[in-house]
Structure 1
Amino acid sequence: MVHVALAGASSGFGLTLLHHLVKSKKHTITLLSRSAKPELSALGVNVCVVDYSNQGELVQVLTGVHTVISCMGAGAVLTESDPQLAVIEAARVAGVKRFAPSEFAHGSYEGVDLYRFKIPAWEAVQRSGTEYTRYSCGLFMNLLAPHNDEALAGLRPWNFVINMTAGTADLPGDGTTKVTYTEINDICRFVVASLDLEKWPAESMMSGDDASYIDVVKMIEKVRGGEKMLVRTNTIEDMEKMAEVPQKRFYNQARICIAKGGFEMKPTLNQLCPEVRPVSIEDFLRKWWVNKPIENPTWGEDKSFGFTKEE
């Protein structure tokens, strides 16, 4: 049992991770939050309302904490005063043993503007002298079921590359590059299991399943009764041109990274935490889409499939 503090875990993926920690009944849990969360306090979580600009307050809250895990998103940290950097420094001063910065995608930031906030945090935690790890999980498998809140497990719905409702697949490159997909609840199980490791690896990669987008399309067609999806490919040059449009920048920069192989993980945590048995892509699809045929597959006007703002 260790004392774990979460930052940026009041909603979305972070909240799902928080619930998994509570469910494990193994750790003392503190949540750093900008506001009170009585519903989480009722679960036994120590909710500390903090001002991220008050370094002394952060140090006081983190004193006695063993592990800090940040789940702060880009919207929280792309500001003049990055709260994640403040938490990293406070953790160093407070003597926190372990720190995991907000990652949960892949270990390369090249070419994806939205991930630029991860760079100073990663550099700061490496300089801190605190034991650290970078959790990398590839793509969230849950985005293959954007129609169901339970399946999304805290994510907002977004038709990334594959639009299951429309029956379309707007592939990165020719769609043959391998991609790692990990279901959010499995990500949380890996993170919780990693708290028991005697020493963290610097890179904590995990994999639920690896497949190309072409393979995933075939699985979808199989699960949904053999009906064919509409599929189109995109060259890197075409995606670079589309990325010039601000509303489609992240969507296309991410697709370019995928086409270049940036989202295939080496499953470090799968080996270190064999008790976690993640769901496969086909099993996930069967759970949420079996016998739900595609009606009149059609391309939408927006190639980003509803992605209308920077994340």
Structure 2
Amino acid sequence: MMRIAIAGSSGLARTLAYHINETAHPFIIISRAPKPDLTAKGYQVIVVDYDNQQDLEHSLRGVNLVISTISGNSQINLIDVAAKTGVRRFCPAEFEGPPARRTNIDWDPLDRGKRATLARLRYWANQRQCIMRFTVFTCGVLYERFSPNGLFSVGVGDSTGATYQGSYLMDVGNGTAEIVDRTSTGQLIYISMTALDDVGRFVAAAVDLDLQSWPNELRMAGERLTITDVVHCAETVRGGGLFSTDIIDARHLQSLLETANYCQDFFKANRMHELMATEQRRYDFEHPNLNGMVNVVPVSFYDWLVSQWVVPI
């Protein structure tokens, strides 16, 4: 049995707490503000100031595993204190595509501090006196991007600017899509995806494994599909009619981004950044190792879409 700290109180943190609560492992939720609705569920919520080292030291006392859903300097501060207080493993706020697939350019608009976070974790992992190691949970694209009201409906991704319905690939409700389906060299583009609830189930199952045996990356996936098949699944669920689909040539993405920036169309620019990341296969991976390590059967993308968009008779 180990003691777990979940940093944050967003929709992702709440999903993790719900499923970890089903295990034998005690946990706390670290939050910037009181959360009466969470304490009403019987969860222990500790209010901290992430700029206050004593606050963080107190909250992490006796903690073996930290799972973070926060970002920026707050997460860096949390990492530093965790390393100094004997935390054995730290899981940063990733929950996207594999870190190795990211671009190496100096300025990455989709980075949101992730590169700095991993650099800090590697620094501590290389310190002889530090026992803390880290693991990234990789889940690809959340199915909830395609739900009614998008990620906003589950309280995820508030800082990304891509939480609304239709902000990525397609608007299932309105039957429209804006996609790039092949790379600049003509290869089909795939993405790996997982439902938010299944992410919680996978993580909860992982904490029952030997913490020392965790690799630096644990990959989970509900399904891996081509972009064309993603849209086709939605078209089928919505009655079989073809969506109004704009298929963008990958070679034109940069010019479309520049135009969006010039026109100060920030929502369009964000969509272009996401399509460029998709074309670069940043959300694609094969062989999800966590799937084979735990007894979790994830929901398929099609069945998940049905649960969201088909009204029971």
TM-score, length of structure 2 as denominator length: 0.83
Query: Does the CA contact (< 8 Å) of 2:257 and 2:269 recur in 1?
Result: yes
Moved more, 232-241 or 114-123: 232-241
Query: Does the CA contact (< 8 Å) of 1:206 and 1:265 recur in 2?
Result: no
Structure 1 position 146, deviation (Å)? 2.0
Please list every run of at least 4 consecutive aligned residues from structure 1 whose deviation after the TM superposition is greater than 6 angstroms: none
Query: Does the CA contact (< 8 Å) of 1:4 and 1:66 recur in 2?
Result: yes
Separation (CA, whole Å) in 2 of partners of 1:217 and 1:85: 38
Structure 1 position 205, deviation (Å)? 1.0
Structure 1 position 147, deviation (Å)? 4.5
The structure-2 alpha-carbon separation of the partners of 1:212 and 1:41, relative to structure 1 and needing over 3 Å to count, comes to: same
**Which residue in the other structure is 1:3 paired with?**
3
1:1-311 to structure 2, matched below 5 A, reads 1-8=1-8, 10-22=9-21, 24-73=22-71, 77=72, 82-106=73-97, 107=99, 108-110=101-103, 112-129=108-125, 130-147=132-149, 152-155=153-156, 156-159=163-166, 160-174=168-182, 176-198=188-210, 199-244=213-258, 245=261, 247=266, 248-266=268-286, 267-273=288-294, 275-290=295-310
Separation (CA, whole Å) in 2 of partners of 1:214 and 1:64: 48
Query: Does the CA contact (< 8 Å) of 2:175 and 2:235 recur in 1?
Result: no
Query: Does the CA contact (< 8 Å) of 2:19 and 2:204 recur in 1?
Result: yes
Moved more, 162-171 or 282-291: 282-291
Aligned residues: 281
The structure-2 alpha-carbon separation of the partners of 1:236 and 1:177, relative to structure 1 and needing over 3 Å to count, comes to: same
Query: Does the CA contact (< 8 Å) of 2:5 and 2:60 recur in 1?
Result: yes
**Aligned with 2:144: secondary structure?**
helix
Separation (CA, whole Å) in 1 of partners of 2:175 and 2:245: 9
Moved more, 276-285 or 259-268: 259-268
The structure-2 alpha-carbon separation of the partners of 1:39 and 1:222, relative to structure 1 and needing over 3 Å to count, comes to: closer
Query: 1:206-225, CA deviations, whole angstroms, 9 ceiling, x for partnerless residues?
Result: 11001112112222222232
Structure 1 position 277, deviation (Å)? 0.5
Query: 1:275-299, CA deviations, whole angstroms, 9 ceiling, x for partnerless residues?
Result: 110011111122222479xxxxxxx
Query: 1:142-190, CA deviations, whole angstroms, 9 ceiling, x for partnerless residues?
Result: 22222589x9433444311111122111112448311111000001111
Query: Does the CA contact (< 8 Å) of 1:16 and 1:154 recur in 2?
Result: no
Percent identical across equivalent pairs? 31
Separation (CA, whole Å) in 2 of partners of 1:153 and 1:35: 19
The structure-2 alpha-carbon separation of the partners of 1:276 and 1:95, relative to structure 1 and needing over 3 Å to count, comes to: same
Query: Does the CA contact (< 8 Å) of 1:178 and 1:213 recur in 2?
Result: yes
Query: 1:42-77, CA deviations, whole angstroms, 9 ceiling, x for partnerless residues?
Result: 32322111111111221122120010000015xxx2
Query: Does the CA contact (< 8 Å) of 2:110 and 2:273 recur in 1?
Result: no
Separation (CA, whole Å) in 2 of partners of 1:283 and 1:34: 36
**Which residue in the other structure is 2:129 paired with?**
none
Separation (CA, whole Å) in 1 of partners of 2:251 and 2:52: 46
Structure 1 position 125, deviation (Å)? 1.2
**Which residue in the other structure is 1:308 paired with?**
none
Structure 1 position 33, deviation (Å)? 1.1
TM-score, length of structure 1 as denominator length: 0.83
Structure 2: any 5+ residue segments left out of the alignment?
126-131, 157-162
Query: Does the CA contact (< 8 Å) of 1:131 and 1:200 recur in 2?
Result: no
Structure 1: any 5+ residue segments left out of the alignment?
293-311
- Output the amino acid matched with 2:179: L
Separation (CA, whole Å) in 2 of partners of 1:12 and 1:259: 28
Query: 1:55-104, CA deviations, whole angstroms, 9 ceiling, x for partnerless residues?
Result: 1221122120010000015xxx2xxxx01000001001110011001101
